[in-house]
Amino acid sequence: MKNNKQIDINRAPTILAMALLAAITPAPAVLGPLLVGAYVTNLGFTPQQGGYLIAAELIGAALSTFSTLMLIGRVNWHKILYCSIFIILTGYLVSYAVTSFEMLMPIRFISGLALGTIMTLTIVVSGMMKDQERAFGFWSLGQIIFAVIGFAVLPHILPDIGVKGFFLIMAGFMVFLLVPVRFMPAAGRPEHQKGLGSVSRELKKLAPIGLLALLLFYTAIGGVWAYVERIANQAGFQADIIGYILSASSILGVVGAGAATWLSKKFGRLLPSLCGYALIGFGMLLLFGLDSVIVYAIASFSFKFAWWFTSPYLLANMTNLDPSGRIAILVNFVVACGMGLGPAIAATVLDYADRNAAGELNYNAVIIFGLISLAISLPLLVIIIRANSRTDKC
């Protein structure tokens, strides 16, 4: 593979290209609550089926890591990105013509394979940059800005265009993403050609702990976030109010990602991570037995700010374990797997949890599931942070 040594990965055009690819590609996950609602109201699917469709795409994104692992050292990265964008574009166009849940599942899964390939490369490139916390801050910032626009606009147009209109809009965005590809590096470091065959004993011990912490974090986030709109809907809130609150919460997400980018390691890694976990848990608790719009707003704001504030620290802590960038390839698998398993497990929890007195779905069970996953993740992350702190002092 021809190595592109001329590109400085720390330059502004590459950072912007990485942020754009990372922002627009995972739209089904970032806009998951609205999509689940659209699947229910426009196509007549159940909330569980909506959750499974989101999960199918994200599980596909997770599984793509293994094929990307083989390609990343052998094939020009620009070719990989162009091919992946074409697959996603085709997936949206085919999804536009399909109305059956059984047919949509494999289509969204295949689209997810390409989605994961693009996200893997953006994570690898971010992990190669000089300041990883700041790089992942921009990686997160692009996604959340896109989410702000989506949550502000989609509630107003989805009733008219439906989920099929959403597919067409996203197809247009994928055509636009062909432009920034050329600003991405065409190859990585020599270590990216070696795969995961040769790793240190310390990394072999720490990597599973860190990856499990990451998996549990994104499983908790994905499971609760997928049903945040349905929780408010069942509480009797109007659709436009829900849309406004979710849009405003996304603005708080922008603030959170921006804060992580600005703070970087000024207060270390442990304190920001602890604060982020605490705020996410607080937001989840407020959703329990929801009956107030004000409480819903506070919960959404806290949840979204902390999600996007904490994520850069988690991702940077993982990529910092292995400067060669090999573990960064697995990070995408874990993030996508967590975001995909979250809605799937939450949907299963809804199926088995007892309904309330009015016969409505028990979303409190989903919140409990999220809190437990988050609580198990935190001490595992602390182990990784302490290991990185020892390395930084050396």
Least reliable range by pLDDT among 200-204, 279-283, 356-360: 200-204
Check whether 216 has a pLDDT greater than 80: yes
What backbone torsions phi and psi does residue 268 show, to the nearest 5 degrees? 75, -165
Tokens representing 242 are 């829900």
CB-side neighbour CA atoms (13 Å) of 1: 22
Task: Burial-class residue 112 by CB neighbours within 10 Å (0-12, 13-18, 19+).
Answer: buried
Give the relative orientation of helices 363-393 and 201-225 as an angle to the nearest 10 degrees.
150
**Cα–Cα distance for residue pair 172/90, rounded to 1 Å:** 11
Q: 77-91, pLDDT tens digit by residue? A: 999 999 999 999 999
Note whether 140 and 23 are within 8 A (CB). no
Check whether 353 has a pLDDT greater than 60: yes
Position 261 scores a pLDDT of 82
Check whether 192 has a pLDDT greater than 60: no
Position 330 scores a pLDDT of 81
User: Which of 275, 270, 273 lies closest to 387 in space, CA to CA?
Assistant: 270
Q: What is the dihedral of CA 162, 165, 171, 174, to 10 degrees?
A: -70
pLDDT category, 357, cuts 50, 70, 90? low
Note whether 78 and 182 are within 8 A (CB). yes
Tokens representing 290 are 């929801």
Tokens representing 287 are 């959703």
Position 189 scores a pLDDT of 59
Query: Please, what sign has the CA dihedral across residues 338, 341, 347, 353?
Result: negative
In the chain, what is the straight-line distance between the N-terminal and C-terminal CA atoms, in Å? 35
Name the helix (H) or strand (E) containing 358: none
Check whether 202 has a pLDDT greater than 80: no
Least reliable range by pLDDT among 13-22, 130-139, 153-162, 224-233: 130-139
The domains found in the chain, sorted by start residue, are: 12-393 (1.20.1250.20)
Position 205 scores a pLDDT of 80
Share of residues in the chain with pLDDT > 90 (%): 34
Position 25 scores a pLDDT of 92
Position 280 scores a pLDDT of 95
Q: What does the pLDDT average to over 49-64?
A: 85
The model carries a pTM of 0.74
Check whether 195 has a pLDDT greater than 70: no
**Cα–Cα distance for residue pair 331/325, rounded to 1 Å:** 10
Check whether 364 has a pLDDT greater than 70: yes
Check whether 1 has a pLDDT greater than 50: no
Q: What does the pLDDT average to over 383-391?
A: 79
pLDDT category, 215, cuts 50, 70, 90? very high
**Cα–Cα distance for residue pair 9/185, rounded to 1 Å:** 7
CB-side neighbour CA atoms (13 Å) of 64: 27
Average confidence score pLDDT of the chain: 85
Q: What does the pLDDT average to over 173-182?
A: 94
Position 201 scores a pLDDT of 67
Structure-model confidence comparison of residues 355 and 172, the more confident one: 172
Task: Burial-class residue 329 by CB neighbours within 10 Å (0-12, 13-18, 19+).
Answer: buried
**Cα–Cα distance for residue pair 239/235, rounded to 1 Å:** 11
User: Which of 84, 166, 92 lies closest to 332 in space, CA to CA?
Assistant: 84
Cα separation values, 158 from 37, 87, 168, 276, 314, Å: 10, 24, 12, 32, 34
Position 4 scores a pLDDT of 45
Note whether 167 and 92 are within 8 A (CB). yes
Share of residues in the chain with pLDDT > 70 (%): 91
